Amino acid sequence: MIEFSETAPHEYSVNPKALRRWSGERLSLQTDQDGTVHARFRYDGTTCTNMGRPLGFLYEVTLGSRQAGYPILEQTCVPVPGDTGYTAMCEYQRNGGELMAAIGRDKPLAGMPLDRVLTWRRAANPAGCYCDSYSREHKWGLVLETIHYALHRHDD
């Protein structure tokens, strides 16, 4: 179950310098004529085992218009095409099909306004792998906060 706090609007859990850098280096945004926003974020990390093998995942998020409060319409997370680092994750080696299915099912905050990421209470889990749900939630939080930051053009 997703829990929310009563945090003030625009209070990020991530350092604004990191958000600024990630929004410039890892995020691309495209806005359609109807106001729909397509965001693509590249996450690069390492496995927690097997000597820290690099891995990359692509996050794609479709948001409704600004006027509608940027509702989260679609979310996907898949390995970067051609990247095989994910196959070195311990959970992938135990049960790869189930892990990849779980990653595909993860759609936190789907249907909610993007602002909800600012009050989403999630466990801090900076592990680079995707083996457990807390680690995946942590990454989704980073992605959604970066998108929020970019759309609100902060100049911290």
Of 117, 137, 135, 115, which is closest to residue 125 (Cα–Cα)? 135
Q: Do the Cβ atoms of 146 and 13 come closer than 8 Å? A: no
- What burial class does residue 147 get, using C-beta atoms within 10 Å of its C-beta: 0-12 exposed, 13-18 middle, 19+ buried? buried
* Residue 155: predicted pLDDT: 46
Angle between helices 133-151 and 16-25 (to 10 degrees): 80
Q: Is residue 5 part of a domain?
A: no
Q: How far apart are CA 123 and CA 135, in angstroms?
A: 8
Residue recorded with tokens 């209070």? 11
Task: Give the total number of structural domains in the chain.
Answer: 1
Residue 4 lies in a domain: no
Is residue 133 included in any domain, yes or no? yes
Q: Which whole number is the average pLDDT over 17-34?
A: 96
Residue 2 has pLDDT above 90, yes or no: no
**89 lies in a domain?**
yes
Q: Is the pLDDT of residue 152 over 60?
A: yes
Of 52 and 84, the one with more pLDDT: 84
Highest averaged pLDDT of the listed ranges 87-101, 124-138, 142-156:
87-101
Query: What is this structure's pTM?
Result: 0.91
Please report which confidence band the pLDDT of residue 98 belongs to, taking 50, 70 and 90 as the band edges. very high
- Residue 84 maps to a domain: yes
Parent domain of 80:
12-151
Instruction: For residue 28, tell me if it sits in a domain.
Output: yes
In this structure, is residue 125 part of a structural domain?
Answer: yes
Position 3 scores a pLDDT of 67
- 34 located within any domain: yes
